[in-house]
Amino acid sequence: MIFGLFDIFRVVISLLAFQMDMLYINCVCVLKACFKEINDNIENLQEFVMNNIPKRIYHEQKHPFLLIKLKALKKQHLMISDTVQMLNMIFSLHLLATIALSFKQIIFYLYFNVIQWQNGISLNRDRIYNIYFISFLIYYFLRLTMIVWACETGKNEATKTSTTIHDVLNSISDVQIKDELNLFSLQILHCNNTFSAKGLTVDATLLTTMVSSVSTYILILIQFLIITHSCDKACFKEINNNLENLRELMVNNLRQIYHEQRHPFLLIKLKALKKQHLMISDTVPDA
């Protein structure tokens, strides 16, 4: 009964964490759409100035419509940037827990299956276990990849705003509009629109770093495993050689002395080998 309640609790926690991940991804995608709308509006303003308005009207009217539109976009961008910071603050602990859990689960689950494969256990597993193992790794990898993808594309869209503004600056000669665009560019410079968790930036670099770290740690653990098995094999071989030497000593050279003196030396040696074998057996993983 207790085991069943614990399993239910684990399932509920997993579903709750997955729902939190989807909520975070949804919020990031909404912010990405907002940044994209700002970029599209700035590009439309550039086309409106360059293609649709005669130069005489452009210099006479100073484009009050464009100034009003730019101020509205600047205010909208500031609100979205504040929302990004609020999102980072709300989901920071959850993101750290998700990243740490995924990192730990992938490493140790791969390592334990490598141990079982080396001991020949996984070869006897049924197909259901193999499907469970593969789906387990795919779940944690896709969960982390979706979060990184959303944050990376959102950051790229936010970075594109600065490039778009400088493109408009290079194609417009009106002083007032240039001043407004310079203020907009200065605002973007002071806004940090990267998605992070307590200083840990969530982007494609994080994913590549985690993949390389997982590979490195798995290789290190496998090397330790190989060294351990090599040492155990050498110890067992040494015990076998000692037993063979004792047998030759008893059979060939000291048959008469063996019956008379009971070979206390051999008894001591056998007890030492038995104790050594027991200690080595304790270090070997259960088959």
In this structure, the answer to whether residues 189 and 251 fall within a common structural domain is: no
One domain, residues 25 and 123:
yes
pTM for this entry: 0.72
Place of tokens 């409106």: 48
Q: In this predicted structure, what is the pLDDT of residue 179?
A: 86
Residues 77 and 187 in one domain: yes
Q: Would you call 125 helix, strand, or coil by DSSP?
A: coil
Whether 256 is covered by a domain: the verdict is yes
Q: Can you give the residue range of the structural domain that contains 268?
A: 236-282
Task: Say what the pLDDT of residue 263 is.
Answer: 56
Burial class (CB in 10 A: 0-12, 13-18, 19+), 96: middle
Shared-domain flag, residues 241 and 222:
no
**Residue 199: per-residue pLDDT:** 84
Tell me if 67 is assigned to some domain: yes
**Does residue 138 sit in the same domain as residue 278?**
no
Q: Are 214 and 245 within one domain?
A: no
What CATH number corresponds to the domain at position 226?
Answer: 1.20.1050
Residues in the chain with pLDDT values less than 50: 123, 286-287
Q: What is the pLDDT of residue 68?
A: 86
Same domain, 16 and 116: yes
Domain match, 10 and 95 both: yes
Residue 287 forms part of a structural domain: no
Dihedrals phi, psi of 63, to nearest 5 degrees: 55, 65
Is 153 inside a domain boundary?
yes
Total tally of structural domains belonging to the chain: 2
Residue 246, token pair as written in the block: 């004792």
Domain match, 191 and 268 both: no
* pLDDT tens digits along 225-282: 776 666 656 565 666 666 666 566 555 555 555 555 555 655 666 566 666 666 656 5
Half-sphere exposure of 258 (CA within 13 A, CB side): 12
Verify that 71 and 211 share a domain, yes or no.
yes
Per-residue model confidence (pLDDT) at position 275: 66
pLDDT at 43: 85
Do both 90 and 153 map to the same domain? yes
In the chain, the amino acid numbered 64 is P
DSSP for 11-50, written as a single string: HHHHHHHHHHHHHHHHHHHHHHHHHHHHHHHHHHHHHIII
**Crossing angle for the helix pair 2-47 and 64-118, nearest 10 degrees?**
150
Residues near 287 by Cβ (< 8 Å), separated by ≥ 6?
Answer: 119, 120, 121
Residue type for position 144: L
The pLDDT value recorded for residue 13 is: 86
Same domain, yes or no, for 175 and 36? yes
